Structure 1
Amino acid sequence: MPVSLSIVVPVYAVEGYLYQCLDSLHAGLTADERARVEIIAVDDASPDRCGRMLDDYAKDHSGVRVEHLSANVGLGLARNAGLAAATGDYVWFVDSDDWLPPGSVRAVLAALADEKPDVLLIDHLRVQDGRPKMDASSHLLAGAPTLDRMLGVQHTAWNRIVGREFLLRHGLRFGSGWYEDVSFSHPVLLAADRITALNRVCYHYRIGRPGAITSTRSHRHFEAFEQYDRLQEWMDEHGVDPAIRRRLFVLMINHLLVVAGNDGRMHPGHRRNFFRRLAALHRRHRPAGYRPHGVKHRLVAAGAYGLYALLRAGYRLAGIRAGNPERTLPVSADVVSPPYRAQAASII
C-alpha cells in the first residue's frame, strides 16, 4: 500500500544552498509520487533572503509549504515546528544546506511501503569541497538491521526516516541547543519495534560549510553535555537494557572526544575545561559493568587531562610527519615521550 512522506526542511542563513536542496527533494518523481510527498520548509527567522526565496519557490512548486517562525529558535525546535505541521505517514528531516542524489525519495518511498518500519535508516556521502566520501559507519547498513548494529550508524536526524504517528505516540521531539540530534536519534531507535535499513546513498551531507556548527569554534559545543544528560534521563525513564546503555556510553565518550580534539570546533583555551566536563559526565553516567575501552577512555575515566594533551600532541606530530595533520585515529601509547610512559602506565 502506498505511503505518504513529509520532508521537513529547517532553513537559516543558507541562501547559497537552498534551491539546490529544494530541487533535489522532488526531482524525477512521477505525478503519483509527488502527490504522496509534502515539503515543509521552516523559515527559522533567517536573517538573509531565505524567507522570500521560500515563498517564491512555494508559488511555483505544488506540495511545498512554508512555515515562518517569528523568532530564531534553532535547528531542533524548527524541526519540531515542521513536525507539528506534517501530515505524512513518515517524516524525513533534511538540512537545508544538504541535498539528495537523484532517485532517493523514490527509493525511500518504496522501502517504506515494502517494510512499514518505525524507523528506516539510509546511507549517505560526506561531501567536502566537491569531493564525496563514504562515512566510517556506512558498512553497518549492509548487515542485518539489529538495534546494536544500527546504534553504531552516525547519529543524525537526516539519516533516519521515522513514522509520524510513532513519534507522536512516544512523545519524541528535539531538544533546544546545539547537538540536538543526540537526544532524538538514539531514542527513536530504542523505542522502535521495527527498524529497517536501506543500503543505498540517499543523502549528501555537506562538510566544512562556513557558518555550519561543525565548522565553528564556539563555547556552544559545551551544549553537547546537556544533550547527553537528556539522553541518559530518557534511558532512566524507559528502563533501557544495561548492555545497550554500555554500548551507548562508549559511543558517547567517542563522540565527545572527537569534539574535544577538533580544532575547527574547540578553541585551545576551552579544551581543558571541556575535558574536565567530559570526565565529570563519565563519572555521572558510567553504567554498571562498564570497563574503559582504549587509552583515551582510560584517561577520561581518570580525569588525566595532562596525559591526554600529551597523547594528542604526540599523535598530531606523527600525523604531520605522515602528511596528515588532522589524523584522528586511536592513539597509541608509543607516541608518548619516554619520561611520561611510566606515569601513563598506571592508567593505560
Structure 2
Amino acid sequence: MDALLTVVVPVYAVEGFLETCLDSVRAGLTAEENAAVEIIAVDDASPDGCGALLDAYAARHGGLRVLHLSSNVGLGPARNAGLAEATGRYVWFVDSDDRLPPGSVRAVLQRLRSSVPDVLLVDHLREHPDGRLEQDASSPLLAGPATLDRLLGLQHTAWNRITRRGLLTEHGLRFPAGWYEDVPFSNPVLVAAGHVEVLNRVCYHYRIGRPGAITATRSERHFEAFAQYDELYQRLDRLGAPAAVRSRVFTLMINHLLVVAGNDSRMHPSCRRRFFRGIVGQYRRHRPAGHRVPAGPAGLKHRLVAANSYPLYSALRAAYRLAAARHRATERPPAVSPDLSATPRPVQTTSLR
C-alpha cells in the first residue's frame, strides 16, 4: 500500500545533525501513522560518514529507504532523485540539518486527510546555533487571509510546503541544479495549485548560521541566483501566471536579491558592485508593464536599482547598517518559547483558481 506522505531527506556533510533530523520525523507516531509515512534519505556522495550512518540507521530502525548517489549532484538534483523514488501521494522535502518539532507529522497527516489540498503550507521557527528560536519575518502572513498574493510572500523554500506529488508530475516541476534551487520551485507550485491549505502551526525548525550552509558562505556562487530567477520566469510563462502574480513576484525578487547583495555573510565587498549590476539586469529584463514601485524604504532601493545608482545604494546601505547596529545595542529580540512551536492556530484555506 502506497504511503500518504513521502519525506525526502537529501544528505550531505551533516553528521552532527542527521540522526536528530531522522528521529524527529517519526517521533511519537502510532503504528498506523508510521504506515502512512515513508522516508527516503538521499546520500549525495557525502564526504563524511553520513552514508554509513544512514545504512546503520535503516538497519536499526527500519522504515527508511536509503539512496546512495555515485557522485555529488547538489541539493536540487538530490531532491529530484528522492522524488523519483517516492510512492506517497504527498511529498515533503526536509533538509537533513533541520528538525521537526514533536507532533508535526501527525498534524500534517491529519490536515492532508481532512482537506486533500494540492499544497499544504506550514509555519517554521529559525533556530540559532545557541538553540534560541525565533519567528521568521514572513510567518505572520500565514495568519491572515490565505490569498495567493499574500502567500507568495512566504519564505520561498521547499520545506515549508507539502505538495501533492501528482501536481509536480502534471506540471514538470523539479529542482534545478545550482544554488538557490528553491527559487524556481516554491512559488510555481502555488501558482499551479488549485487548492492550497495553511496549517498555521510551527512544523519545522530551520537551523541558521551553520558553518558550510549556503546562507553563511561567501562565494561567487551567489550569482547563480540570477539564472534561477530567469528559470522562475520561464515557469511562470508556462503556467500562464496572471499579471498580478508576475508583478508580486517581481517585487519579491528584487527584495530578495538586494538582501543577498547586502549580506556580508554571503557577498564579499569586492563582488557587491558587480552583483548590484546583475540586479539591474534582472530589473530591466523582468519588470512587468505597469509595475508600481513599492512604498517606503524598499521602494527607495528599487528606484536606485532602476537608476543603476550603485554609489547611492552603497551609501544608503551604510546608513541602514549603522542604524541597525545602534538598535541592536539597545534591544535584543526575545526568543520564542519552544512551547509555541506546537501550538495549533486557526485553519486557513483557499482555492487559487
TM-score, normalisation: structure 2: 0.90
User: Which runs of 5 or more structure 1 residues have no equivalent in the other structure?
Assistant: 328-348
1:283-322 paired onto structure 2 within 5 Å: 283-293=284-294, 294-322=299-327
**Counterpart-to-counterpart distance in 1, 2:238 and 2:170:** 16
- Bigger mean CA deviation after superposition, 282-291 or 144-153: 144-153
Counterpart in the other structure of 2:105: 105
1:127-142 paired onto structure 2 within 5 Å: 127-128=127-128, 129-142=130-143
Residue 87 of structure 2 aligns to a residue in which SS? coil
Residue 311 of structure 2 aligns to a residue in which SS? helix
Aligned 8 A contact 2:123 2:202 in 1: yes
**Counterpart-to-counterpart distance in 2, 1:110 and 1:271:** 46
Q: For 1:253, give the aligned amino acid.
A: I
Aligned 8 A contact 1:3 1:109 in 2: no
Aligned 8 A contact 1:3 1:113 in 2: no
User: Which runs of 5 or more structure 2 residues have no equivalent in the other structure?
Assistant: 333-353
1:65-144 paired onto structure 2 within 5 Å: 65-128=65-128, 129-144=130-145
Q: For 1:173, give the aligned amino acid.
A: R
Per-residue CA deviations over 1:79-114 (Å, capped at 9, x if unaligned) read 000000000010000000000000000000001001
Cα shift at 1:175? 0.5
Query: What number of residue pairs does the alignment pair up?
Result: 325
Counterpart in the other structure of 2:28: 28
Aligned 8 A contact 1:292 1:301 in 2: no
Aligned 8 A contact 1:117 1:195 in 2: yes
**Counterpart-to-counterpart distance in 1, 2:72 and 2:140:** 37
Aligned 8 A contact 2:260 2:266 in 1: yes
Counterpart in the other structure of 2:255: 254
**Counterpart-to-counterpart distance in 1, 2:202 and 2:329:** 27
Cα shift at 1:60? 1.3
Q: CA RMSD in A?
A: 1.4
Q: For 1:310, give the aligned amino acid.
A: A
**Counterpart-to-counterpart distance in 2, 1:52 and 1:139:** 40
Per-residue CA deviations over 1:195-236 (Å, capped at 9, x if unaligned) read 000000000000000000000000000000010000111112
Q: For 2:100, give the aligned amino acid.
A: L
Counterpart in the other structure of 1:343: none
Aligned 8 A contact 1:296 1:308 in 2: yes
Matched, 1:266 2:271: no
Counterpart in the other structure of 1:240: 241
Cα shift at 1:291? 2.5
Cα shift at 1:318? 2.2
**Counterpart-to-counterpart distance in 1, 2:190 and 2:323:** 38
Q: For 2:145, give the aligned amino acid.
A: A
Q: For 1:305, give the aligned amino acid.
A: Y
Residue 322 of structure 1 aligns to a residue in which SS? helix
Q: For 1:71, give the aligned amino acid.
A: S
Aligned 8 A contact 2:41 2:82 in 1: yes
Counterpart in the other structure of 2:342: none
Cα shift at 1:3? 6.6
Residue 126 of structure 2 aligns to a residue in which SS? strand
Q: Tell me the percent identity.
A: 68
Residue 146 of structure 2 aligns to a residue in which SS? coil
Aligned 8 A contact 1:146 1:195 in 2: no
Cα shift at 1:324? 5.2
1:327-346 paired onto structure 2 within 5 Å: none
Pair 14,183 (structure 1): closer, same or farther in 2 beyond 3 Å: same
Per-residue CA deviations over 1:120-174 (Å, capped at 9, x if unaligned) read 0000000112110011111111223221121111110000000011111111100
Aligned 8 A contact 1:119 1:192 in 2: yes
Aligned 8 A contact 2:3 2:87 in 1: no
Q: For 2:317, give the aligned amino acid.
A: R
Residue 79 of structure 2 aligns to a residue in which SS? helix
**Counterpart-to-counterpart distance in 2, 1:22 and 1:113:** 23
**Counterpart-to-counterpart distance in 2, 1:192 and 1:36:** 23
Aligned 8 A contact 1:3 1:112 in 2: no
Counterpart in the other structure of 1:338: none
